[in-house]
Amino acid sequence: MLFIENVKLAFSAIGINKMRSFLTMLGIIIGISAVIAIVSIGDTMRGVIADQFAGIGVGRIYTYIQASDGVADENSLFSKNDIDNIRTVFSKDIEYISGAGSQSGTAIKGRNSVSINLTPVQGNYTRVQPVKISGGRMINQKDFESSKNNIVLDENTAEKLFKSKNVSGKTIRLSYNGKNGAEITDFTVVGTFENNKSVLEKLLAGKGPETAYIPESLVFTPDSSAFSLDIFISKNADSKQFKKSFINYISRTKNQTAKNIVYESAESEMKSADSIMQKLSLAVGAIAAISLLVGGIGIMNIMLVSVTERTREIGIRKALGARTADILIQFLTEAALISAAGGIIGTAIGIGVVAIGGRILNIKVIINPVMVITAVCFSAAVGIFFGLFPARKAAMKDPIEALRYE
């Protein structure tokens, strides 16, 4: 009951000086909203990065041999036979391996032409990299084995070339580097797919060229050599053990030292990016939290003024039997309520800002409920900490002197 009475007295005191109470809360509101917004933005960006890496494949590895003299030779390139041997030796760990890198090309239909990024793929590509087919089908094993001039276009490319997304069975001219060098050849569109670029892709690459898929066998033949390898390892594979075994194998078979083998995994890149974003978010959030200190000082200042203004009230309460502890708790409750109210308002503003930003950018916003609860509790703790000195000053007042105060 005593607690409820103190809360009522606190609300009464806050209500008498609404504007002053709001201005006192302002430092806490700004601090809490800034901390929540910054940490939520950091968590959201970490989620975007995770989704982006999921899109390119967390188990994806890009590897090549850095020639010691800078000149590529037989020992720094991968032949079709090398790739087949790697696939056999690591059959339990490797889901997909390709030596055909992406290349630029031009899709032509009548007077319309679109620059595209061609990705040569094998028939089992969708086992490791999902493709959202919107019409027709994806490149399959038959296309790969028979080197058919089939292509799967991005919906945007189809729209630019045909003014329609339903283009399966139609023909385009494709300018690209095939197995016989530069070619301009007729291709049959066998499917279209959705290629909704993430916010991260748009920020880093802008619009960029659209993507299209063609059979790998059109550009990479048994007589070809690859500068690099694109590998997807199994979800059940031990990535650390695979890296060690793979580098040892390449070093031995290609007569190379381990330091010449460049091994870049999406998993390690994702962990590195996530760690950087987490540290950056915490650092900026800590800087924003300094405003909470300023808000706490504001609470102390206004509570000291309140104690001075209410000296006679304190004297009357003590004369009526209020103990020193009762006066202390009364003023601490008031300070904590001011700070907690500021924390709640700041939390609402911070979440609102992040939610609006997420809707504008069309990304899924991540808000940690534990962080929200912690922020509100911390704001109340700030109020109690900085309200302790004014509350103690009020509690220690002599009742006789307080009653004489004018």
Supply the pLDDT for residue 204.
46
CB–CB of 382/295 below 8 Å?
Answer: yes
Rounded Cα distance between 267 and 258, Å, is 20
Supply the pLDDT for residue 406.
53
400 pLDDT tier (thresholds 50, 70, 90): low
CB–CB of 34/363 below 8 Å?
Answer: no
402 pLDDT tier (thresholds 50, 70, 90): low
Tell which wins on pLDDT, 393 or 79. 79
289 pLDDT tier (thresholds 50, 70, 90): low
114 pLDDT tier (thresholds 50, 70, 90): very high
290-309 and 311-319 helices cross at what angle (nearest 10)?
70
Rounded Cα distance between 115 and 284, Å, is 41
Token code pair at residue 172:
């385009």
The phi and psi torsions of 111 (rounded to 5 degrees) equal -90, -5
Q: What is the pLDDT of residues 305-318, one digit of tens each?
A: 777 766 677 677 77
Supply the pLDDT for residue 206.
47
Beginning with the edge strand found earlier in the chain, give each strand of the sheet holding 94-98 in spatial order: 94-98, 228-233, 60-65, 261-265
Nearest to 166 by CA among 191, 133, 186: 191
CB–CB of 139/150 below 8 Å?
Answer: yes
Rounded Cα distance between 353 and 288, Å, is 15
Least confident of 95-99, 254-258, 378-382: 378-382
Four-point Cα dihedral 375, 381, 384, 389, nearest 10 = -110
Q: What is the pLDDT of residues 161-216, one digit of tens each?
A: 999 988 999 999 999 988 777 889 999 999 999 876 555 454 444 455 778 999 99
Rounded Cα distance between 152 and 132, Å, is 11
3-state class of 67 per DSSP? Answer: coil
Give the angle 265-244-259 at the CA atoms, nearest 5°.
80
Residue length of the chain: 406
Least confident of 77-91, 177-191, 261-275: 261-275
Cα separation values, 11 from 1, 15, 405, Å: 15, 6, 24
Mean per-residue pLDDT for 342-364? Answer: 84
